[in-house]
Amino acid sequence: MGEDECEMKALVFDGRLSCRDDYPVPAPAPDEVLVRVHRAGICNTDIEITKGYMDYRGVLGHEFVGSLPDGSRVVGEINAADGTCDTCRRGDVTHCRQRSVLGILKRDGAMAEYLTLPARNLHRVPDALTDMQAVFVEPLAAALEITDCIHIRPSQRVAIIGDGKLGLLVAQVLQLTGCHLQVIGRHARKLAILRRRGIPTLDTPAEYDGRFDVVIDCSGQAGGFELARSLLRPRGTLVLKSTFHGTQAVTMVPFVIDEITVVGSRCGPFEPALRLLERRLIEVETLLDAEYPLEQGVEAFKRAMTPGTLKVQIVLLPSRDGKGSKAPG
């Protein structure tokens, strides 16, 4: 890059959110690659960061699709590991002691013209996927992590708490297991998306008669934990997917008495997520509410924070498929 190409546009959080056009282009380390970002998605974690979560400062964003210097499109796993610590050596690279996390911990994120990640973190995007669809790979992989962590049987009763972006993806993933599935949410428009796919929904847990074998908290709120606990049968499994700024008081005695298993679940496998999207087994088109140019990133966040809003994406390069965009507002 020439001297005049060492700065880029970026959406930066430094205690307040602002779009800058003088942010330094990141320099890749020896094992890293410079990626030109096409699109980035606004996640609930990004919103929580603006409220103080992780005490992060820098470029936001970890859901993205971009291109390499040779023009090939990629998506990227967000945890950059050193590969040498005891955690990495036992195979838990997403929990590396020295890890940085794209747009969350010690690494600038994807809401900028360029980002860097280790080459081993990148996955090629099939030609059949649009840029818009590819942005959903990261949250879909997080949904798939649930079935990597626990075995959900077709005979089990499973509840999902929350009808947000992640909850809708988790519901589609778990539908593929054949389990007796219920999604509990508060927004008629979002629940209708699932009902059209044959997934039963409830707008109040009181409507369900009985207890669940597995409950997954995707609510993104402290109250989701207690609701999920109340719906579990003894010796059931509670899966936690919510990340939010703040603390909550939890009485642990019921977990001991009912012998509840609690499973934390975070990032997941990218290759299966790419396959599910390529084979159109997961629908993401109905989850996109709006697109904004990077220059309107602050407005994009305001839209994403509006109750009832699903996915908002930030567009840095025109879509390669030539299809129209969803206008902001």
For domain 140-264, the CATH architecture is: 3-Layer(aba) Sandwich (3.40)
Q: At 168, phi and psi to the nearest 5? A: -70, -35
- For residue 75, how many C-alpha atoms fall within 13 Å in the half-sphere facing its CB? 29
For domain 3-136+284-315, the CATH architecture is: Alpha-Beta Complex (3.90)
How confident is the model over 35-49, as pLDDT tens digits?
Answer: 999 999 999 999 999
Looking at 67-81, 263-277, 309-323, which range is the least confident one?
Answer: 309-323
How confident is the model over 97-132, as pLDDT tens digits?
Answer: 999 999 999 999 999 999 999 999 999 999 999 999
Domain extents in the chain: 3-136+284-315, 140-264
Q: What is the pTM of this model?
A: 0.94
CA proximity to 199, closest of 233, 221, 153, 167: 167
H helices of 126-214, where? 131-134, 137-149, 165-175, 188-195
